[in-house]
Structure formats: C-alpha cells, structure tokens
Amino acid sequence: MNLSFFDQFTSPSLLGIPLILVSMLFPALLLPSPNNRWIANRLSTLQTWFLHLITKQLMIPLNKKSHKWALTLSSLMMFLLIINLLGLLPYTFTPTTQLSMNMALAFPLWFATLLTGLRNQPSISLGHLLPEGTPTPLIPALIMIETTSLLIRPLALGVRLTANLTAGHLLIQLISTAAITLLPIMPTVSILTTSILLLLTLLEVAVAMIQAYVFVLLLSLYLQENT
C-alpha cells in the first residue's frame, strides 16, 4: 500500500519508451504562437500580459547588462509554472517531481551565472568568499564555509522544488484515499475530509506557482550577485 503512493512519481512509458520528454514538451503547445494580426484573442492577450509582468518583476533588481537573461528566465518561469499546474490534473505526470530533472535545470543555469561573474568581475566574485573585516585566524574556515554554501546552491534549488511538489502530491493522495475509505463507514467525516481536500488543492495550486517563481527568482538573485 505504501509503495502505491509513490507510483505517481514514476516516469510513464509506452512500449518501454519513457514519455517524460512528451510531458516536458507539451506545455509549449499552450504558449501563444506569434501571428501577424494586430488584435489577438483574450487568452493570448492574458498570456502576453502575464509574461510581461513576470519579466518586469524579474528584471527590476538587475542592471542593464543582465537584461540579456530576460528571455531565458522568463521562458524558464513559464515552463516550470505550466508543468507544475498541469501536474495537479488527474492522471497526469509532473516532471518537476524528479530530482534529476530539477538538478539538470538548476546546475547549468547556476554555473552560467557563476562563470558570468568570474569573467566580468573576478575580484568581486571571489571577494564574496571572504567577508570584509574577517579576523585572520578565521579566514581559512570562512573560505571553506562560503565555498560550500556557494556549491550547495544548485542542490538547494533542485531539492526545494522537488520536495515541495512531492510533499503536496503525496498529501493530496493520502487525504483523497482517506476520504474514499471513510465514505461507506462515516459519510460525515468523509465529506469533511473532501472539503479539506478541496482547500488543499487550492493551496497546492498556489504552491505550484510560488515554487516556480522562487526557483527563477533565486537564479536572478545569483545573477545579480555576479553582475
């Protein structure tokens, strides 16, 4: 019984072929396609307005040199947001519950921000490893601590996104299983559990949106630190 709760996190396959790539590419179909019409429909207008709002919020704390990252960060935000929300639908698979995928997104982007800082301002980037005014005996220990905290950033990005989405999906499945089990025994308790499940589902929608925004926001903060 305990193993069945984790079946939703296994990658689906058809004839032995993993379908995780299909589930990752499907959100691209929901994005508006460019056209030559002056007036688009309401959905395209809403998506464009939301994308502009996200880009504006991400680029405000960054300088002009970092604005070349606007397309990358905005695309990543929309990609994570749509995948997280689609994963809440019944009989769907959420690729962002896989730590391997999240690390594949976090590590290259974090490493790119690090290389950007080392190329443009190497002294300032290396200066973050040693706070100003540090006593001489503590310099080696602080350098090791700051280096460890720097290298653990991509791991924290991937684990945070994976853990929050996995915990939410497991909690929804546990409560829904309890509601179905209690229905013939205690209908009143089952109805109360179902109402809690609906509230939890709304909470998970908010968590899916917040976690996508936090992932990209932290990357933008790392970029701000290195530019």
Query: Domain spans of the chain?
Result: 7-226
DSSP letter (8 states) at residue 181: H
Which runs of consecutive H residues, i.e. helices, occur in the chain?
A: 20-25, 42-59, 70-86, 99-120, 122-127, 139-151, 153-182, 187-225
Predicted TM-score (pTM) above 0.85: no
pLDDT higher for 59 or 31? 59
Tell me the average pLDDT of the chain.
Answer: 82
User: What's the token pair of residue 40?
Assistant: 């688009």
d(CA 97, CA 112): 24
d(CA 225, CA 227): 6
* 96-113 residue pLDDT tens: 888 888 999 999 999 999
Q: Which of 197, 180, 213, 208 is nearest to 92 (CA)?
A: 208
